Structure 1
Amino acid sequence: MAAEISYKPGELLRNIAEGDSDAFTHLFDKYWLQVFAHVRTYIKDNAAAEDITQDIFFSIWLNRSKLATVQDFEPWLHVVTRNRTISGLRKMLHEPDGGISATVPEIAAQQSDSPVGQLDYKQSRELLQKAIDQLPERRRQVFRMSRQDGLTHAEIAEQLQISKATVNEHIGEALAFLKTRLAAYPGLLNALLLISGCWLGRK
């Protein structure tokens, strides 16, 4: 399991910055509860707090190249968490900034000029869901069983009484379609699937 891998100081962030999804899963498992607990202190609704927590890790992965310059991760993560929590509170209360952001400076890993950088986790997930809804019925069913329910290809084949080769074909075609539909948001599909996989691993 990823959580059992031992990383030297600085190695974990460097690996993530280079696109190592196993290293990111390790970081997710290590810090998810800590981040969620901090968010939950201010956001009393569990579902909303989970969304904000997912959003934080989603942003970290999308902007992973910047992790190579982070010297002290935990204080950095605290600032990211605080910023995202304040942003979430603003949305929930439907109130303007009120000058809050002036006292909590935005940090580089939360900013991007790309279309993906302008989306939060919930918005991105909705984009993906709309694209999934356009898949043919059986392909959509197979994809959801794999990526959203966390079933193996063998389990899907058994439940649907189809071959593993057919499952593989459905997954491959679905991913190709989704990458095309989300081409305007480079990296979005892989980021969403990675975060979803990390989340499934916690259940």
Structure 2
Amino acid sequence: MQAKNIISDQELQAKLIAGEESAFAALYDRYSQMITAYIKRFVNSSDLADDLTQEVFIKVWQCKSKLDEVKSIKAYLLIMARNHTLNSLKKAMRFDVAMAEVIGSFVEQRNETEEELLSKEYLNFLNKALSELPYRTREIFRLCRQEGKSYDEVAFAMGISRNAVKNHMVSSMKILSASVKKDLGISLSILLTLFLKS
């Protein structure tokens, strides 16, 4: 442990400016835990803090030629960590806000004609996908998802066990999910929400 600290921060900085990878490794060993702990105060997630720490050190390496202007490498790392973390959080928030606005706008602006066309397209796709399932599986899916019956009610109506109903549903959901994702590029849950909401 002492070997790492024999070289001063100033010497480490000079070697880093010269492009010595061993100096970068030494810097990472010396300060990565401190930077991760600091970032974690902002993001409250160990995995995210680890990722952001890696990104901070990559930026330091990429901008090593500017380090000759830096008086304290430790202070520089902390400032860089704070700025990078805040910028990343702002971007993430902007993305969430933008997505919420797009979805909100889409819901508000849809008219009945578009809604009908979209529903017909999705309904046709769902019916086609369902028609490829075995008859009993298709019937169980229809009763559970389209009529909203419970597994117990379907089991009683069809004279089979609740477990058999569950197995048919798991099978149909897997097949439909793969088909919807492949052909429509959306998740099955989104399709079912659009289809079953009326």
TM (norm. structure 2) is: 0.44
Higher helix share: 2
Higher relative contact order (CA 8 A, sep 6+): 1
Q: Which of these two proteins has the greater Rg computed from alpha carbons? A: 2
